[in-house]
C-alpha cells in the first residue's frame, strides 16, 4: 500500500494548487475555496484506490438494473491516472441509483480516523460506501458528500459519519462500522438524482495517526 503524509489542512482546491499538473482538457482555476477540514498534524494515509495502470480498472458496476431499473454506470481510467465514475441515472421502473465498487484488503483501519478522497464532481451529491465482507449483497456503511461542479475538492469523512444501509434503508440492529475489516470500497449516486453524472476521482485513502 502507498503511504504518504497528508497536509494538515484539507481544502477545496483546483488542480493547480495541489501540485498535480492538470491533464489534457482538465479545468483549472487560480482560486482556492476557503472552506477547510482540519486533519491531524503529520497524518499518515493508506491507499484504498489509486488509478495507475495496476489498480485503475478493478471496479464493478452495480446499478438499479438488479432491481428492475435502467440506470447505467462505469468507472474508467483516464490518461492522467484518475478515475471517472460516470453514467446516467434513470427514475423509470422505480429505479434511481448507480454504483461501482472494488475489493480491498481486508484492511484493519482501526488506527485511522476515517477516509479522505480527492474528487472533481458535477454539483451532485455522492456516497462513499464501505463493506466489511466480500459478499455481493448485505449491509454497507455509507457517508454522503457534496461536490462543486468543475472544481477539485478534498473530502474528509470520519468513520463515525458512515451509517449502515441495506437496499436503501437503515437495517434494524446494525451497529457502527467495524473498521477492523474493510473489504470493499464503493461510490454511489442515488436520492432520485436523475440524469447524467460524472465524478472524477484522484485517490481514496484512509487517514489518521496510523498508530
Would you state the cell numbers that stand for residue 209, as one nine-digit string?
Answer: 495517526
pLDDT for the residue numbered 43: 57
Confidence at residue 57, expressed as pLDDT on a 0 to 100 scale: 64
Longest Cα–Cα distance in the chain: 49
In this structure, the dihedral spanned by the alpha carbons of residues 45, 49, 55 and 186, taken in order and rounded to 10 degrees, is 160
Strand positions, DSSP E, the chain: 3-6, 9-12, 33-38, 43-49, 60-61, 72-77, 83-89, 98-107, 112-120, 126-131, 140-145, 152-158, 163-165, 182-189, 195-208
Measured between alpha carbons, how far is 179 from 132 in angstroms, rounded to an integer? 8
HSE-CB of 95 using CA atoms within 13 angstroms = 23
pLDDT band, very low/low/confident/very high, at 97 (cuts 50, 70, 90): very high
Q: Which residue has the higher pLDDT, 3 or 134?
A: 134
Identify the band that residue 208 occupies on the pLDDT scale cut at 50, 70 and 90. confident
Higher pLDDT, 42 or 159: 159
Angle at the Cα of 188 from the Cα atoms of 187 and 191, rounded to 5 degrees: 155
Domain boundaries, the chain: 3-19+30-167+176-203
pLDDT of residue 37: 42
pTM of this prediction?
0.78
* Topology (CATH level 3) of domain 3-19+30-167+176-203: Jelly Rolls (2.60.120)
Predicted pLDDT of residue 210: 53
Amino acid at each position: 500500500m502507498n503511504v504518504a503524509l497528508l497536509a494538515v489542512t484539507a481544502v477545496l482546491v483546483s488542480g493547480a494548487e495541489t501540485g498535480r499538473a492538470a491533464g489534457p482538457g482538465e479545468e483549472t482555476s487560480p482560486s482556492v475555496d476557503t472552506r477547510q477540514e482540519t486533519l491531524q498534524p503529520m497524518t499518515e494515509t493508506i491507499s484504498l484506490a489509486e488509478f495507475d495502470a495496476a489498480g485503475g480498472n478493478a471496479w464493478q458496476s452495480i446499478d438499479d438494473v438488479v432491481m428492475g431499473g435502467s440506470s447505467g454506470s462505469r468507472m474508467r481510467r483516464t490518461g492522467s491516472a484518475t478515475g471517472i465514475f460516470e453514467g446516467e441515472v434513470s427514475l423509470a421502473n422505480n429505479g434511481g441509483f448507480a454504483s461501482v465498487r472494488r475489493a480491498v484488503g481486508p484492511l484493519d483501519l482501526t488506527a485511522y480516523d476515517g477516509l479522505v478522497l480527492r474528487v472533481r464532481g458535477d454539483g451532485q451529491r455522492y456516497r462513499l460506501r464501505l463493506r466489511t465482507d466480500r459478499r455481493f449483497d448485505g449491509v454497507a456503511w455509507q457517508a454522503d458528500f457534496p461536490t462543486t461542479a468543475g472544481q477539485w475538492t478534498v473530502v474528509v469523512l470520519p468513520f463515525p459519519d458512515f451509517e449502515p444501509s441495506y437496499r436503501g434503508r437503515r437495517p434494524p440492529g446494525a451497529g457502527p462500522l467495524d473498521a477492523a475489516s474493510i473489504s470493499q470500497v464503493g461510490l454511489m449516486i442515488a436520492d432520485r438524482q436523475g440524469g447524467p453524472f460524472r465524478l472524477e476521482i484522484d485517490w481514496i485513502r484512509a487517514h489518521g495517526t496510523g498508530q
